[in-house]
Structure 1
Amino acid sequence: MDEIDLDELVASLTPREENQTITVYQNTVAVSCPACDTQFDDLVVCKENPASLNLSKQLDLCVGSADGHAVIFTHKQLA
């Protein structure tokens, strides 16, 4: 996987949530995941180390790092 350009990536995404620990962006324009090359649903940027996520649904995850932050690409599992 190439280095993730976080600024370029989030410029194409829609901000959805931000708090002290994380920032969440929704992929509304079908951007491909840099890890697996399939469309992802949300990008979670972890701003604190460690960070805790409370997931309300089962997801497949791809992970990476950018600018010193962990980044998580979520993929909804199809039923």
Structure 2
Amino acid sequence: MDVDTDELTSSLTPREENAAIKSYQNTVSVACPACGEPFEDLVVCKQNPTSLDISKLLDLCVGVDDGQAFIFTHDG
């Protein structure tokens, strides 16, 4: 993934952090580095493997940087 993840996350609003994940909300309509469309949330997986409990239908874009998965969610 050719994106400065530190710069990206500094533009987002932190939401949740635990041992497995850290999530951010995109409150300023930052474009997804994969598809170019604004995304709703970014989930950074801190553990391998990580299980996500997603209760709604979402379109996902995924990237990997420095061994961590970056999941960009889009309302489906």
> TM-score interval w.r.t. the shorter chain?
over 0.9
Task: Work out the CA distance in 1 between the residues paired with 2:41 and 2:66.
Answer: 18
After TM superposition, list the pairs within 5 Å mapping 1:62-77 onto structure 2: 62-77=61-76
Could you tell me which runs of 5 or more consecutive residues in structure 2 were left unpaired when the two chains were aligned: none
Paired position in structure 2 for 1:18: 17
After TM superposition, list the pairs within 5 Å mapping 1:1-79 onto structure 2: 3-77=2-76
- Could you say what secondary structure the match of 2:19 adopts? coil
Q: Deviations over 1:25-77 (max 9, x none)?
A: 00000000000000000000000000000001110000001222000000011
TM-score calculated relative to the size of structure 2: 0.96
Provide runs of 4+ in structure 1 moved above 3 Å: none
TM-score calculated relative to the size of structure 1: 0.92
Corresponding residue pairs, total? 76
Task: Work out the CA distance in 2 between the residues paired with 1:23 and 1:63.
Answer: 15
CA RMSD of aligned residues (A): 0.9
